[in-house]
Structure 1
Amino acid sequence: MDNDWLLTTNVTERVPVLKPADDAQRRLIRLGPTALSNPELLSLLLRGEKSMERAGALAESGLRALMHESPEALLEHHRLDAREVARVLAAGELARRLHLAPEERPRLQSPAAIHEWARRMLVGLRREEVHVLCLNSRSFLLRHVRVSEGAADQCYVDPREVLAPAVACRASSLVLLHNHPSGDPEPSVLDVTLTRQLKEGARLLCMRLVDHLVISERGYVSMLQRGLLTNDGTSYVPGLQAP
């Protein structure tokens, strides 16, 4: 185990003292990576007693310039060891690939697009399932989670289980999906009630429930198109288009 992850102890006072690298790791887990500075993030890629000091020196050259450095320059000029060079270059390459390929995530901008993406997953099942789609501000899919499985004609849903994945990935909005094995996509009274509860719960968390689709072999019903997700009764919600 690297020494950076260990607690040091003040012998005189017997009070545990966190090293800077360990403190950065704990803050990242507790607050998320956006709470850390560039030197703090870089320090998590380095090793040794002076990882924070060395990370500060690396950050001074600028992240873009750093990610364009050759392995030889990182080894010789920046005094990194081989494992640290591999970590820095791998982090830079992952960032580059994410920037170049945002379209790999489906963009779900309408009930029809959501149905087309989800129908193969839900049609033909013998039990009801409830799924949540977490979207960013441009309607790209961030995460898809199955939150519940029930019987042939009903499925219990805990609203907390629906909202938790969206909170975890910092989604701007979410879409609820569930199937009707009976073949009739008409929503039940309980489906409508759940939709309204989740709409309010999402609002309190600064997110939007932009649609709830009931999918079956005979098609789908969109709560957005039914006008159940807007305050004025219309079927339009900014960011999602109802055809």
Structure 2
Amino acid sequence: MAVEPDNTGHRGRLRQRLFEGGPDALLDHELIEYLLALAIPRRDTKPLAKALLIEFGGIAGLLTADAAALARVSGMGETSAAALKAAHAAALRLLRAQVAERPVLANWQALLDYLRADMAHHAIERVRVLHLNGKNMLIRDELMNEGSIDEAPVYVREVIRRAIDLGSAAIILVHNHPSGDPSPSRADIEITRQVAEAGKRLGIAVHDHIIMGSEGHVSLRAQGLI
């Protein structure tokens, strides 16, 4: 009868390093290994952790992958996929709380960190609208639309109507480029100008349109395109 490996000592050492050294004490594959061990306690999860990081191109791509894609990897199941998605959700809540603490325009790096963690590695294009009050505090962060690997529609009327419903004084448009390259397309520039013009008539400012990609981000405001 086969004897299952005893990983208690190894996991205990990982745990101790984490407690004593903080988040940088463990390598990426060790963090994932330990997370998976919580969901699969009677199995050596190191090979699976390494395979997942290779499959999804690193820890950012892994944690932002959808649950169905995770579950398709050999050795994964719903419980282990849920463990990874829970870790991602916790990280996003921490970053979002930092964004909500101060006026967005005075806390720009925190906003970029949050958006990068949430959007930069998505496999399909998604459009978000951040709604701000008169003090530029975040009042709502909404997913407006999602589409294919290279396009998600933006409807000017829907964006402005929602801003009116929420009483937004300003908005920030955000979308991702699954290709990784955040360079704006001509369509990105045109729709931004249309939304800005429609908002101006109603006293709703468009502070920026941020495009996120795995290779970085682009601010259309910083590029002089708004």
- Using structure 1 for the length normalisation, give the TM-score: 0.49
Amino acid at match of 1:216: G
1:192 equivalenced with 2:189 (yes/no):
yes
Provide the rounded CA distance (Å) in 1 between the counterparts of 2:206 and 2:214. 24
Question: After TM superposition, what 4+ stretches of structure 1 lie above 6 angstroms from structure 2?
Answer: none
> Using a 3 Å threshold, how does the CA distance of structure 1 residues 106 and 119 change in structure 2: closer, same or farther?
farther
What residue number does 1:163 align with?
160
1:60-110, Cα deviation, whole Å (9 max, x unpaired): xxxxxxxxxxxxxxxxxxxxxxxxxxxxxxxxxxxxxxxxxxx95553116
Provide the rounded CA distance (Å) in 2 between the counterparts of 1:205 and 1:104. 25
What residue number does 2:135 align with?
138
> Using a 3 Å threshold, how does the CA distance of structure 1 residues 191 and 104 change in structure 2: closer, same or farther?
closer
Contact 1:107 1:139 in 2 (8 A): yes
- Which SS does the other structure have where 2:222 is aligned? coil
- Which SS does the other structure have where 1:155 is aligned? coil
Gaps of at least 5 residues in structure 2 are 1-98
Question: Out of 176, 198, 212, which is 1:215 matched to?
Answer: 212
1:109 equivalenced with 2:82 (yes/no):
no
- Which SS does the other structure have where 1:109 is aligned? helix
1:180 equivalenced with 2:183 (yes/no):
no
1:179-216, Cα deviation, whole Å (9 max, x unpaired): 00100000000000011001101101111001000001
1:124 equivalenced with 2:121 (yes/no):
yes
Provide the rounded CA distance (Å) in 2 between the counterparts of 1:104 and 1:208. 19
Amino acid at match of 1:203: K
Amino acid at match of 1:188: S
- Report the CA distance between 1:150 and its aligned residue: 0.7
Provide the rounded CA distance (Å) in 2 between the counterparts of 1:107 and 1:225. 18
What residue number does 1:225 align with?
222
Provide the rounded CA distance (Å) in 1 between the counterparts of 2:102 and 2:175. 19
Provide the rounded CA distance (Å) in 2 between the counterparts of 1:176 and 1:104. 17
Structure number having the greater helix percentage: 2
Larger radius of gyration: 1
What fraction of aligned residue pairs are identical, expressed as a percent? 33
- Report the CA distance between 1:219 and its aligned residue: 1.0
- Report the CA distance between 1:147 and its aligned residue: 0.6
Gaps of at least 5 residues in structure 1 are 1-102, 230-243
Amino acid at match of 2:135: R
What residue number does 2:13 align with?
none
Provide the rounded CA distance (Å) in 2 between the counterparts of 1:163 and 1:131. 13
1:19-46, Cα deviation, whole Å (9 max, x unpaired): xxxxxxxxxxxxxxxxxxxxxxxxxxxx
- Report the CA distance between 1:113 and its aligned residue: 3.7
Provide the rounded CA distance (Å) in 2 between the counterparts of 1:137 and 1:176. 17
Contact 2:183 2:211 in 1 (8 A): yes
Provide the rounded CA distance (Å) in 2 between the counterparts of 1:223 and 1:192. 8
Aligned pairs, how many?
127
- Which SS does the other structure have where 2:105 is aligned? coil
Provide the rounded CA distance (Å) in 2 between the counterparts of 1:170 and 1:105. 20
The RMSD of aligned alpha carbons is: 1.7
- Report the CA distance between 1:143 and its aligned residue: 0.7
- Report the CA distance between 1:165 and its aligned residue: 2.2
Amino acid at match of 2:164: V
